[in-house]
Amino acid sequence: MKKYIYIIVALLAFCAAFVSCKKNLNTYDGVDGIYFLPAMVSINQLPVNDSSIVSFGYAKPELKDSVFYLQVRAAGLPSKTDRDFKLTIDPSSTAIEGTHYEFVSKNFVIPANETVGRIFLKLNRIAELTSKPVILRLNLEENANFKTPMEDRIVNVTTGKKLSYIQHSVWFDDILKKPKSWLDFYMGTFSRKKLFLLAEVAEIEKISDLDNTALTPIPKSLYYATFMQRYLNEMKAAGKTIYEEDSSEMIMGPGVQ
């Protein structure tokens, strides 16, 4: 009987200690700060980045725009109500609102009971992006709901390079580079028109895969080139010769002639 009494007493003591500790738990009482989430995430204890790169280069011609979103994190405890945060465009930006991009919504908030909000941008695919990229720099600023207690940190002591927690740069373009798996001996001279026609004829779902030699090894490149040359030959025989933008006849490389 005494054994059971000792067990009960011990359990009561443990419960009392647990309640006491629970009452003394400290809650977050620091500043409610705001940061761009990509700069807060880390790999191998190193911050990821404070910029994003978006390219329409490998996108199909019919794609005219794309929606890009960026996450913003609030430090501290969630609120029971929505909290708006202040977002401004840095003067150094070369992207023009209404021309290069548009905000899907200008209601910038951290939703109730959450610590992460989202900024949605519609990036427009316009002609000038084929020759040069533009940059949009977004700044987080203090308001009644949030402060910016941590602005940046040095990530390279030698160069003094800093990573910003409150500025994020979005670079975007429509510059098409020759894919890594494009072998001139099989594919011939590279051109935008030829690449997109190849993707259509060979039913290549993701053109960007051609920039990965692991996904498109030499035998596969040879297959695409042979298939494409056969198609060009058939079109020419039917009196529908396909020409490049410079009016020269489109042909594949010498390896498939």
How do the domains of the chain map onto residue ranges?
34-173, 184-256
Q: What is the distance between the alpha carbons of residues 217 and 226, in angstroms, rounded to a whole number?
A: 14
* pTM for the full predicted model: 0.73
With beta carbons less than 8 A apart as the criterion, state whether 100 and 134 touch.
Answer: yes
With beta carbons less than 8 A apart as the criterion, state whether 219 and 183 touch.
Answer: no
Q: Which CATH class is domain 34-173?
A: mainly beta
Q: Per residue in 102-115, pLDDT tens?
A: 999 999 999 999 99
Q: What is the distance between the alpha carbons of residues 77 and 70, in angstroms, rounded to a whole number?
A: 21
With beta carbons less than 8 A apart as the criterion, state whether 47 and 164 touch.
Answer: no
Q: Per residue in 121-171, pLDDT tens?
A: 999 999 999 999 999 999 999 999 999 998 888 777 878 788 899 999 999
101: Cα within 13 Å, side-chain hemisphere? 28
